[in-house]
Amino acid sequence: MTTDAAKPAGAHARVAVVGSLNMDLVARAPRLPNPGETLAGSAFAQVAGGKGGNQAVAAARLGAQVAMIGCVGADANGEILRAGLLAEGIDCGALETAPHAPTGVALIVVDDASQNAIVIVAGSNGEVTPDTLARHEAVLAQADVVVCQLETPTDAVAAALAAARRLGKITILNPAPATGPLPAQWLALVDYLVPNELEAAALTGLPASTPQDAARAALALREAGARNVLVTLGAQGVCALLDGDAPAHLPAPRVSAVDTTAAGDTFIGGLAARLAAGEPALEAIAFALRAASISVTRAGAQPSIPTLAEVPR
């Protein structure tokens, strides 16, 4: 099992992200539409997104040296997404191009209360396979922390987690989107399982919308084999169940939210960056909360993610 240890001064914090890249098509409306309803929107934007891409950008802006493992289409959206990652200083040597699948897209509606509804079309993200991970295992070997989500095929996620565990890396799994319990063998491969309240409920069958409920869900996940469980609760902060400890509630800074689209991804990226730098878990979690609280005060996914200099220390 991987242990967290302080890195020597001047050492790089290296993060590898295995995951999705989407072009986000974002509409703002007064409220989320009901089934069959057409609403008049007030604004539209096309911005880079996808949980993998967002988390890679967040980790890079928040101090890590980042490599991206994923797949885009041979189209304009793919070119834009690749160029955006490169502009952030992210290593795209393991970002492949699918010749016959379009780049993934996300259709997002954001309402006046800053809540959102999202439909994902995987496209080229569905072309990430265990063979993809085998071709780029050297990228995993160079990382301190490996981050995965569930917007790429599950066999690829399993391969990434297994390779990272074999290579002795710290692993973070953001089980999003989650529709039910994870495969039992996965939990032993994950150092930090980070669901939000809805995902924690899907994984356990228990409510997780309050810190108290989230603590019970986190304990159930630990009983199932998870080492560290962090249930993110939006404006309520995080319920943290760390290895061998009792659940702890870390409140989020109070801010005026504009758009919550990439808050969870900012949290994951900040957590990965600080763990890769060797920070203790509670300090890394508190930092990630501060970064996420900044992101919700801005519109958009990747445009909302702060830089290291913007996050109070």
- Which is nearest to 170 in space by CA: 150, 193, 203? 193
Which residues are CB-neighbours of 261 under 8 A, at least 6 positions away? 24, 26, 49, 108, 110, 116, 118, 300, 301, 304
Q: Which residues are catalytic?
A: 265
- For β-strands 65-73 and 14-18, DSSP reports them as parallel
What is the rounded CA–CA span in Å between residue 198 and residue 174?
Answer: 12
Q: Tokens for 279?
A: 């920070």
- Across the chain, the runs of DSSP E, i.e. the strands, are 14-18, 22-28, 43-49, 65-73, 91-98, 104-110, 116-121, 145-148, 170-173, 192-193, 228-232, 238-241, 248-250
The span from the CA of 146 to the CA of 142, in Å, is: 10
The CA–CA distances, whole Å, from 9 to 6, 27, 90, 269, 278 equal: 9, 45, 22, 21, 10
Distance set, CA 142 to CA 18, 139, 189, 190, 238 (Å): 14, 5, 18, 18, 30
Three-state SS for 222?
A: helix
CA pair distance 277, 4, nearest whole angstrom: 9
